Amino acid sequence: MNRDKPQFQSSLVTFIIHRRIKNETVIGNLSATDQSVEEYNRRLTYSIRKQDEPKVFEVSKDGVLRVIGKIPTHANVLNFTVSASDNGYPTKKALQSVSVKISNIPALTKFCTVKDGFEWQICWKYEPPSSQRYFYHIEIRSGMYTHNNSVVGGTEHCYSAALLDGPDSKYFYRVQTRLGNNRSPFSEWKEAVDKGPDCELFDPCQVFKPCSNGGSCIVIPNSSSHLQDRYTCICPHGWQGTNCRTSDGCVHTTCLNQGTCIMVSPNKTKCKCLEGFLGELCEFVNHCSQNPCFHGGTCQMLANASYECHCPPFYVGSKCETLSPCNTSNCNNGECITVDEKNFYCKCEKGYTGPFCKLYNPCKLFNPCENNGTCEPSSETPAKYVCKCRENYIGANCSQLDPCKFIHCENGGTCSISGKPGQHCKCLPGFIGGECQREDKCYRQQPCKNGATCIMNLNDTFVCHCTNGFTGDHCELIDPCAYGSCSPNTSRGCIRLSDTKYRCSCTEGYTGDFCETAISSCRENPCRNNGSCIFYMFERRQLQQRRATK
């Protein structure tokens, strides 16, 4: 049963198209909803219910509205009704009025977008060019950001919008032209891409603002489509280059002490100093030019205009004038470092320690202790080590997690890893289980008698394994069958009657106290006509027939 009818979101929908729109152009989509539970009831079919002749529009079954005919010359608006029918029984419908406004202003198609720091600059061009001022309505969308605004401008205009969703998000835009009460169709939604899609058609001085540092931009008429060939920058004093971004050599640099300014890169200058001077502007006296370091020491100027001497081996002092104490020291497996003219210390190689780097320390060479364990050299063997493990870890290298930290042994049991699954506790007498949680009834109750063995089951019950000659749940009964003589080949077994009596259960065809006597099958005289029956063991019979006499 079809209970729900389709519904449009509004009773009227409006579209704007240009008067010279081409046939088969899609101008929009119509959409209704149906709340029916059944899927087939929610399938909707769209159609134009009523339209004046000649027909200008067509709607497909799935709601796509397109132009199929010429717009009447004097028409400013065309109205018709669209129906949405479901697939249920009985069929139910919804109606929506459609108003298509005819505009003499075409939709914008030429755009140029430029990413400038944390802003998008969106430019558009209205064609043909006109001196008239237009209103433009712009819409910008991104993941979480929607922006609408109206601006006034000429036939070529630019609009700046902040990147509120971040510089890496995607931004989409569309623009509508307005002149008085007349409005153009919205342009198609476009994604903002840097320096696209039609930037070669725009004024580069207005769109790109390429001249930096106060330079003036001039458009070169009838130039190529390449951006760098369509404008020129007139740079102010001190700047040069295509976009006035290169410092003009040494205009801003003054070298002191008769130094000479030279260019080392397009944006960097350097002062070439006379001998005896140094610094960025040749402002410092070069003390190293007098070679103040002794014994082959190397002089180096410092940032504060002082100097220092880098001494060769075995010499120390501010000017390398003193013999180093490392000259006579032996650091064995290390390097001698001079502290002053009389004192030194040994910087040991990896794996060695001690004042003269004689002692081998494996803890210095590598860290064998895992899980933040502390490595200490062995006091007995220098080449060996001992790991002191942190809480919860054990093993020679602290690599094993101590399971006893996570095991709770009950009833006085102690943790003892046995290597068997589920057995981690050593229990006191009278308790069993992986964590000593079960009572050992065999130990506490001693239920098995006459030397029997008691075995605990997993369900906390026990079973007694009796010794020969006893029976019963607790092996408390004497078993006379243990000493009975029932024939093993002709009896089913022994049946206990009391502590001293038993009975043999014979198989078919045997009898006797021990089932030792075979029952004769001839006792019923099965042979007829005076035949003789002869009994054989194991139920065999033979009939002897008398030979008939004439």
User: Using CB atoms within 10 A of its CB, is residue 6 exposed (0-12), middle (13-18) or buried (19+)?
Assistant: buried
Banded pLDDT at 544 (limits 50, 70, 90): very low
Which positions ≥6 away from 341 have C-beta within 8 Å? 316, 317, 322, 324, 325
Residue 408 lies in a domain: no
Could you tell me the two tokens for 9? Answer: 């979101």
Residue 143 lies in a domain: no
Whether residue 431 contacts residue 424, with contact meaning beta carbons closer than 8 Å, is answered with: no
pLDDT at 297 over 70: yes
Domain count, the chain: 2
Q: What percent of the chain has pLDDT over 90?
A: 29
Dump the DSSP string for 78-146.
Answer: EEEEEEEE-SSSS--EEEEEEEEEEESSPPP-EEEEEEETTEEEEEEE-SS--SS-EEEEEEEE-SS-E
- Of the three residues 48, 72, 104, the one that is the final residue of a domain is 104
Q: Which amino acid is it at 93? A: K
- Edge-first strand order for the sheet with 57-59 is 26-29, 64-67, 57-59
Cα 265 from chain centroid (whole Å): 46
| CATH code of the domain in which 233 resides | 2.10.25.10
Res 482: pLDDT: 79
Residues 315-365 pLDDT 10s: 888 898 888 888 777 788 888 888 877 788 899 888 888 888 888 888 877
Which positions ≥6 away from 146 have C-beta within 8 Å? 139, 140
Residue 439 lies in a domain: no
Which positions ≥6 away from 124 have C-beta within 8 Å? 108, 110, 111, 112, 136, 156, 157, 175, 187
Residue 28 lies in a domain: yes
Q: What is the value of pTM for the model shown?
A: 0.42
Res 541: pLDDT: 34
Q: Helical H runs in 61-170?
A: none
| CATH code of the domain in which 10 resides | 2.60.40.60
Residue 374 sits at φ, ψ, to 5 deg, of -100, 125
Q: Helical H runs in 81-223?
A: 204-207
Residues 140-163 pLDDT 10s: 998 888 899 999 888 788 888 888
- Of the three residues 48, 79, 104, the one that is the final residue of a domain is 104
Banded pLDDT at 439 (limits 50, 70, 90): very high
Residue 533 lies in a domain: no
- Of the three residues 75, 104, 133, the one that is the final residue of a domain is 104
d(CA 336, CA 202): 73
Least confident of 46-60, 219-233, 236-250, 529-543: 529-543
Residue 177 lies in a domain: no
In terms of residue numbers, what domain contains 209?
A: 203-247
